[in-house]
Amino acid sequence: MACTSIQSLLQDTEIPAPSPPQILVFSADSNKIENGSMVTLQWDVNNADSVFIDNGVGFVASKGSRQVKPYELTAYNLTAQNASGDVA
């Protein structure tokens, strides 16, 4: 009777790495706004464990929108992360 330990089974099994995050959409409803005007950011991200938008927005859901009101020239950057790494 053959006996196989759990440890040897785990050593022989490769667990594939998850697919990296994909930023499908990250946009603003206006490219240029007047000082203090509202702008809506929209995003849609796949395969992410966390999604972060800088400049005061913070962690957000994988898909959504947020109104922001910058008072000076501001660039917003989205970073999506999972076990494969970060995508910005």
User: Residue 5 domain-assigned?
Assistant: no
Note the pTM of the prediction, 2 decimals.
Answer: 0.79
69 pLDDT higher than 60 = yes
User: Residue 15 domain-assigned?
Assistant: no
Q: Residue 57 is part of a domain; what is its CATH number?
A: 2.60.40
User: Residue 55 domain-assigned?
Assistant: yes
User: Residue 25 domain-assigned?
Assistant: yes
User: Residue 12 domain-assigned?
Assistant: no
User: Residue 11 domain-assigned?
Assistant: no
pLDDT digit string, tens, across residues 5-35: 555 555 666 777 789 999 999 999 988 777 8
Closest to 80 in 3D by CA, of 57, 56, 52, 58? 52
Q: How many domains does the chain divide into?
A: 1
Alpha helices in the chain, H assignment, sequence order: 6-12
User: Residue 35 domain-assigned?
Assistant: yes
Note down the domain range covering 72.
20-87
